[in-house]
Each structure stands twice: as structure tokens, then as C-alpha cells.
């Protein structure tokens, strides 16, 4: 017969084993690895979806595209009508944009280096650590999915959201309103999925010559914490607008 003292010891031993298992799961849990199981696909209506465990969520870019205001949509259509070669031109732009994103991804992941001649060296020199780079995310609570260009930690411990863009024309901050909404959506997902609080964000935009791909100048647009709060509220309204359209 097992005595009361021995029963207590066995109970404590069993509970200790369970506690160790839980701690091991917590220590080995990698939310970034969990997010890598998300699969990207395109719906029959043409918008991009990310699927996890049988549940599909719209991409950030799809939400931005389908909730674009009429003025911008008309501007795009007008440009298409005036420039018959616009598809070829945009194909060149996408190719250059992909090359720039790949370069920045390799730098952020430490696979290639850079020196002070790099167009964005001044910005990158302020980073203490790269926390996320080209990270695919899926957030059921925000109703969004997509791939974030970068999240960096600054020397003071703050987190900065980074997005890379390319342009063949000189742009102003006012032109970047939809880009800012995009940042707001990534902020929503990151803060939902990871234990971080984003304090500011920047768009690093490379203005280049379409004819030869040479750099004209780097452009940096910033949003501080208060500005990000305004942007995030607008982002939530755009998500609601998208959901109302497609009844997600």
C-alpha cells in the first residue's frame, strides 16, 4: 500500500514532469516558424489570399487595392489609356522592385553586407537588430494576412516598422497615403502576433531611372507613434470596408 507521503511525492513528480513539458514547449515555440505554414494563393476573383488551417484571409495589398478611392482608381485608368506600353513599363518596374527587395532582404538577414555608399546606409546604421524580414503573417483577429518587409529594433529598445518601395518618379509624402495605410495594417498584424509595440515606421523608397535602373536618389518617409495611431484607425476602416464588400 502506498503511504500518503509517497502519494504526495508521486503527485509532485508527475506535476513536475508536466511543468517541464510545458516549459519546453514555451521555450521551443517559435511564432515566426508557425507563421511560415501559411500558404498563398489567388482567388477566382483575382485577389490574393493566405490560407492556414483551412481558413483564408485577404492580403494587405488586396485590401488596399479593392478599397482604393475613386480618384486614384481613375488616375490609374487614365494612365493606362494614355500609355499603351504601360504593361511593359510596369513589368520593368516590378522587376526592379523585386531586385531591390531581394537586396534589402539579404542585407537584413545578414547574408550580404553593405557600406556607407548604400542609398539607405544612414537609416540602416541606426538599427540595433533586425527582428523580422520578409515575414509572412496570418492574423485571424485582424482579418489580414501578408508579408512584412521588415521590423527592426532600435538602440533604445523601440521597434520600427520598415517598408521598401521603388518609384520611377519623384514622390512626396502626401502621395504615400495608401502606403501609410499598408503600414497600419502590418502594424496591426505584428502587434497581434508578436509581443512588441511599434513606436514608429518608415518607408524607404528608391527613386530610379527606368531606362537603365540607376539610382537617382533615396527617399525616406516617416510616421511617428501618434501619426501611426491615426494611420492604424484608417487601416481598420479599410479592412471593414473590404469585409463589407466581400462579406468575410
In a domain, residue 46? The reply is no
Whether 17 and 70 share a structural domain: no
In a domain, residue 44? The reply is no
- The predicted pLDDT at position 79 comes to 62
In contact, 189 and 139? CB cutoff 8 Å: yes
Percentage of the chain lying above the pLDDT 70 cut: 76
In contact, 228 and 198? CB cutoff 8 Å: yes
The pLDDT tens digits for 89-116 are: 778 888 889 999 999 999 999 999 999 9
Counts of helices then strands in the chain (DSSP H, E): 8, 8
Residue numbers of the domain that contains 236: 60-246
Report the domain count for the chain.
2
More confident residue, 8 or 35: 8
CATH code of the domain containing 144: 3.90.320
In the numeric block, the cell 482567388 is attached to 43
pLDDT over threshold 90, residue 123: yes
In a domain, residue 212? The reply is yes
Whether 10 and 75 share a structural domain: no
Does the predicted model carry a pTM greater than 0.85? no
More confident residue, 96 or 120: 120
Strands annotated E in the chain: 39-42, 48-52, 55-58, 129-139, 144-153, 159-167, 198-208, 215-223
- The predicted pLDDT at position 11 comes to 47
Sign of CA dihedral 168, 218, 98, 37: negative
pLDDT over threshold 80, residue 213: no
Mean per-residue pLDDT over the chain, rounded: 84
Whether 70 and 2 share a structural domain: no
Whether 64 and 20 share a structural domain: no
The pLDDT tens digits for 143-193 are: 999 999 999 999 999 999 999 999 988 888 888 889 999 999 999 999 999
Identify the DSSP state of 47.
Answer: -
pLDDT over threshold 90, residue 121: yes
For residues 242-247, average pLDDT? 81
Whether 69 and 160 share a structural domain: yes
Whether 67 and 22 share a structural domain: no
In a domain, residue 50? The reply is no
Q: 177-193 and 225-246 helices cross at what angle (nearest 10)? A: 90
Whether 96 and 13 share a structural domain: no
Amino acid at each position: 500500500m502506498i503511504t500518503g507521503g509517497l502519494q504526495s511525492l508521486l503527485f509532485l513528480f508527475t506535476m513536475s514532469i508536466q511543468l517541464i513539458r510545458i516549459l519546453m514547449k514555451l521555450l521551443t515555440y517559435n511564432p515566426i516558424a508557425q507563421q511560415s505554414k501559411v500558404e498563398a494563393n489567388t482567388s477566382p476573383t483575382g485577389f490574393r489570399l493566405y490560407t492556414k488551417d483551412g481558413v483564408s484571409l485577404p492580403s494587405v495589398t488586396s485590401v488596399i487595392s479593392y478599397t482604393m478611392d475613386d480618384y486614384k482608381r481613375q488616375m490609374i485608368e487614365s494612365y493606362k489609356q494614355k500609355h499603351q506600353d504601360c504593361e511593359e513599363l510596369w513589368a520593368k518596374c516590378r522587376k526592379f522592385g523585386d531586385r531591390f527587395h531581394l537586396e534589402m532582404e539579404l542585407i537584413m538577414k545578414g547574408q550580404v553586407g553593405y557600406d556607407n555608399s548604400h542609398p539607405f546606409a544612414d537609416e540602416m546604421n541606426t538599427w540595433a537588430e533586425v527582428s523580422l524580414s520578409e515575414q509572412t503573417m496570418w492574423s485571424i483577429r485582424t482579418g489580414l494576412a501578408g508579408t512584412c518587409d521588415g521590423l527592426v529594433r532600435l538602440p533604445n529598445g523601440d521597434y520600427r516598422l520598415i517598408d521598401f518601395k521603388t518609384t520611377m518618379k519623384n514622390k512626396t509624402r502626401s502621395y504615400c497615403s495608401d502606403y501609410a495605410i499598408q503600414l497600419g495594417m502590418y502594424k496591426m498584424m505584428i502587434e497581434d502576433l508578436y509581443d512588441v509595440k511599434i513606436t514608429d515606421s518608415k518607408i524607404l523608397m528608391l527613386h530610379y531611372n527606368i531606362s537603365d535602373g540607376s539610382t537617382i536618389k533615396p527617399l525616406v518617409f516617416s510616421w511617428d507613434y501618434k501619426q501611426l495611431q491615426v494611420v492604424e484607425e484608417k487601416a481598420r476602416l479599410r479592412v471593414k470596408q473590404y469585409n463589407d464588400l466581400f462579406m468575410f
